[in-house]
Chains A and B, each alone.
Chain A
C-alpha cells in the first residue's frame, strides 16, 4: 500500500517537474475565473489566446536559444526592426505582400546569423553579444524609420494576420503552425536531441560528432526569424509599424520561457511548457487590465514571477 503511495507521489512529482507550467496555468486560470469579474467569458478567453499568439512565436525561438544555454537579449529590438522594415516595404515601396514578408524574414535571418557568428566564431558571451547587437539593431531601426511610425497599412497586407477564423484569427493559426513545427524540431527530430546534448554538455556533444558550431549559430537564426515573424504579425495587429515596438517584449518572452520550465543553464525546454508559460503570463496581464490596475504593475509582477521561477527551478533541481 505504502509502496503504491510513494509511486503515485513519484508520478506526481515527475508530472510537476515536467509539466509544471500546465499546473501553473490551470491554477492561474481557476483563480482568475473565481475572483476576477468578467474574466470567465468566452470572448475574454479567446482574447487571451489572440494576445498570446505573437509572444508564443517569440517564446518558441527563445526556448531554443535557452536550450543551448545561451540567451538573446536583442529579440525585442529585432521585432522593432522587422516591424519598420515590413512597413516600409509594404507602404512606402509598394512591394508585393509575400515578397515583403519574405524579405523581412530574411532581415531576421541576417540578424540571427550576425548574433550566431559573433557568439560562435568570436566566442563572445551570448548576453554581451546580444546586448551589443540589440543596441545596434535598435539604432538601425531608428535610422531606417528616421524616428517616425508608419501607420494605416494596406488592407491586403493586414489580411495576413487579422482574417477571422471562428472567433480567432490567422495570427493564432500561424502561431499554431509554429508550435507544430517546433514540436517536431525539438521533440521528434535529431536536431532537438542534439540541442539537448549541446545544452547539457557542449564538449560531449562535439565529441559525439554533432556539428556544434552550426548548431549554435542555427539557434540564434531560428530565434531571430521567429522575432521577425512576430514583428510582422504585431505590425498587422496594431496597424502601425514602429521601431520601438518590441522593446518590452524581450523580458516578457524570457519570463514566459522560464515560467514554462526552460532552464537558463541549457538542456531543458519544451514547446508545451513555453506555450503555457506565455498563456499564464497573459492571464495575469488580462486580470490586471480587468481590475483596472496600472499597467506598470504588470512589469513589476513579471520581474517577481521570473525571480520566483528561477529560485524555484534552482531549488527543484537540487532538492527534489
Chain B
C-alpha cells in the first residue's frame, strides 16, 4: 500500500520522536566536538546566549512549519515582527499596561496573518505573493508609525521577559518551548492538525472529503502571524529597542530552520520539534562562524545555499519516487 506524504507523516509518529532524539544527540555531539576546538564556545554563558537568540527563530519557525506543510510560505514574517513590536513599544511608552500592549500587538499580528489566509483561501492568490505584500505593508507601517526612528527604554519587567533568566535558563526559552509544545500538540493530537497534514499531502482529496479548507487556511496563516508577532515582542524585549526593520534577518533563518528540520517544501510533511532543532542548528552555526570571525555576509550566502540545496534534494527525491511508481 502506498502512503502519501501526509499519511506517512501521520503514520510514522513514533519514528519522528526517534528522529527527534537522534537529531538532538547528533547536534549535541557535533557541536561539542566542534566546540572544543573553538575558544569560548562551550562556556555556559555563550551557550545560553545562543539559546536565547535562537528562541526568536524557533518561534517564527513554529508558524512557518504549519504554513509550509500546507504548501504555502510566509514571507510576511519580518514585516509582522517589526510592525507588532513597534505597536507594542509605542503603546508601552504611552503608559499602557504591558500585558494589554502585548495583547494588542498579538491581535494585530494575528489579523495580518488572517488577512493572508483570506487572500489565499478566498481569492486563491499564491501564498508567497500575498505574504510578500503583507510583509511590505507591515514594514511600511513600522516605518511610518515612528517616522523611521527606533524607540527604546522599556519597563524593566518587560526587558526581564527577554533577558532575564529563571533557574539559569533564559525566560525566552521557556516561551519558545511553550510555543513548540503547543504547536506539536496542535498538529499531532488534534483533528485540525490532521486536516493540516491532509491539506498539504493532497488538497484535492481533502476537498472531496468535504472538509472545509477555509478553517485550515485561516488558522494556519493566523497562527503564523501570531507566532511572528510574539517573536517580534520577544526580540524587542531582548534588545530593549524597536527598530523598524529589525525583523529582516529572521525570515531566511526561520525558513532555513524549517527546511533543515525536515519540513518539506512540497507540503504534508514536517514537525515543529524538528524545526526547533533546525533553528538551533542555524543559531549555533552562526555563533560558531561568528567566533571564528567569519563575516555575516558569508553566513548569509551559506544560509541561502542551504535552503536551495535541501529543497532541491527533497524535490529530486519526490521525483524519484514518482518515477518508480510509474514503472508499475
Chain B 286-328, CB within 8 Å of chain A: the 1/0 string? 0000000001011111011101100110011001000000000
- Whether A300 sits at the interface, judged by CB under 8 Å, is yes
**B86 vs chain A, min Cβ distance (A):** 12
Known contacts: A118-B312, A139-B304, A311-B123. The answer to whether A128 contacts B136 by CB under 8 A is: no
> What residues of B have a CB within 8 angstroms of the CB of A135 in the complex?
252, 300-301, 303-304, 307
Known contacts: A135-B301, A135-B303, A143-B298. The answer to whether A124 contacts B308 by CB under 8 A is: yes
Pick from B125, B129, B147: contact of A71, CB below 8 A: B129
Q: Which of B138-146, B167-175, B178-186 contacts A (4 or more CB under 8 A)?
A: B138-146
Q: How far is the CA of A78 from the CA of B128 in the complex (A)?
A: 20
> What residues of B have a CB within 8 angstroms of the CB of A310 in the complex?
119, 123, 125, 129-130, 133
Q: Is there an interface contact between B136 and A136, defined as CB atoms closer than 8 Å? A: no
Q: Is there an interface contact between A128 and B304, defined as CB atoms closer than 8 Å? A: no
Q: Is there an interface contact between A307 and B133, defined as CB atoms closer than 8 Å? A: yes
Q: How far is the CA of A122 from the CA of B320 in the complex (A)?
A: 12
Q: How far is the CA of A122 from the CA of B128 in the complex (A)?
A: 20
Q: Is there an interface contact between A300 and B125, defined as CB atoms closer than 8 Å? A: no
- Whether A201 sits at the interface, judged by CB under 8 Å, is no
Q: Is there an interface contact between B123 and A300, defined as CB atoms closer than 8 Å? A: no
Pick from A136, A251, A303, A314: contact of B304, CB below 8 A: A136
Chain B 73-92, CB within 8 Å of chain A: the 1/0 string? 10100000000000000000
Q: How far is the CA of A138 from the CA of B299 in the complex (A)?
A: 11
Known contacts: A143-B298, A303-B133, A310-B129. The answer to whether A136 contacts B305 by CB under 8 A is: yes
Pick from B73, B143, B303, B312: contact of A122, CB below 8 A: B312
Number of A-B contacts (CB under 8 A): 116
> What residues of B have a CB within 8 angstroms of the CB of A140 in the complex?
301
**A77 vs chain B, min Cβ distance (A):** 10
**B85 vs chain A, min Cβ distance (A):** 16
> What residues of B have a CB within 8 angstroms of the CB of A125 in the complex?
265, 311
> What residues of B have a CB within 8 angstroms of the CB of A129 in the complex?
308
Pick from B124, B136, B265: contact of A303, CB below 8 A: B136
**A299 vs chain B, min Cβ distance (A):** 4
- Whether A280 sits at the interface, judged by CB under 8 Å, is no
- Whether A297 sits at the interface, judged by CB under 8 Å, is yes
**B309 vs chain A, min Cβ distance (A):** 9
- A143's nearest neighbour on chain B, judged by CB, is B297
User: Would you call the interface of chain A mostly helix, strand, loop, or mixed?
Assistant: helix
**A135 vs chain B, min Cβ distance (A):** 3
The total of chain B residues at the interface (CB under 8 A) is: 41
- Whether A127 sits at the interface, judged by CB under 8 Å, is yes
Q: How far is the CA of A118 from the CA of B144 in the complex (A)?
A: 38
Size bin of chain A's contact surface: 35 or more
**A253 vs chain B, min Cβ distance (A):** 13
| Residue picked from A118, A302, A303, most chain B C-beta under 10 Å | A303
- Whether B126 sits at the interface, judged by CB under 8 Å, is yes
- Whether A5 sits at the interface, judged by CB under 8 Å, is no
- A121's nearest neighbour on chain B, judged by CB, is B312
**B17 vs chain A, min Cβ distance (A):** 28
| Residue picked from B139, B304, B315, most chain A C-beta under 10 Å | B304
Q: Could you tell me which residues of chain A, from 131 to 190, have a CB within 8 Å of some CB in chain B?
A: 131-136, 138-140, 142-143, 147
> What residues of A have a CB within 8 angstroms of the CB of B311 in the complex?
124-125, 128, 132
- Whether B206 sits at the interface, judged by CB under 8 Å, is no
Q: How far is the CA of A143 from the CA of B128 in the complex (A)?
A: 28
- A305's nearest neighbour on chain B, judged by CB, is B133
> What residues of A have a CB within 8 angstroms of the CB of B136 in the complex?
251, 299-300, 302-303
- Whether A304 sits at the interface, judged by CB under 8 Å, is yes
- Whether B111 sits at the interface, judged by CB under 8 Å, is no
Q: Is there an interface contact between A71 and B297, defined as CB atoms closer than 8 Å? A: no
**B69 vs chain A, min Cβ distance (A):** 15
Q: How far is the CA of A134 from the CA of B305 in the complex (A)?
A: 10
> What residues of B have a CB within 8 angstroms of the CB of A301 in the complex?
140
Q: How far is the CA of A264 from the CA of B129 in the complex (A)?
A: 9
Q: Is there an interface contact between A134 and B304, defined as CB atoms closer than 8 Å? A: yes
**A204 vs chain B, min Cβ distance (A):** 20
Q: How far is the CA of A138 from the CA of B252 in the complex (A)?
A: 13
Q: Is there an interface contact between B319 and A123, defined as CB atoms closer than 8 Å? A: yes
- Whether A306 sits at the interface, judged by CB under 8 Å, is yes
**B243 vs chain A, min Cβ distance (A):** 14
Give the A-binding residues of B (Cβ under 8 A). 73, 75, 119, 123-126, 128-130, 132-134, 136-137, 139-141, 143-144, 147-148, 252, 255, 265, 295, 297-301, 303-305, 307-308, 311-312, 315-316, 319
CB<8 Å pairs between A and B, sample of 23: A73-B132, A122-B308, A122-B315, A123-B312, A125-B265, A128-B311, A131-B304, A132-B311, A136-B300, A136-B305, A142-B297, A264-B129, A294-B144, A294-B147, A296-B143, A296-B148, A297-B144, A299-B140, A300-B143, A303-B134, A310-B123, A310-B133, A311-B123
Nearest 3 CB-CB pairs, A to B?
Answer: A300-B140, A135-B304, A139-B301
10 additional contacts, CB 8 Å, given A264-B125, A297-B144? A118-B312, A127-B73, A132-B308, A135-B304, A136-B301, A139-B297, A139-B299, A251-B132, A299-B136, A310-B129
Give the B-binding residues of A (Cβ under 8 A). 71, 73, 118, 122-125, 127-129, 131-136, 138-140, 142-143, 147, 251, 264, 294, 296-297, 299-304, 306-307, 310-311, 314
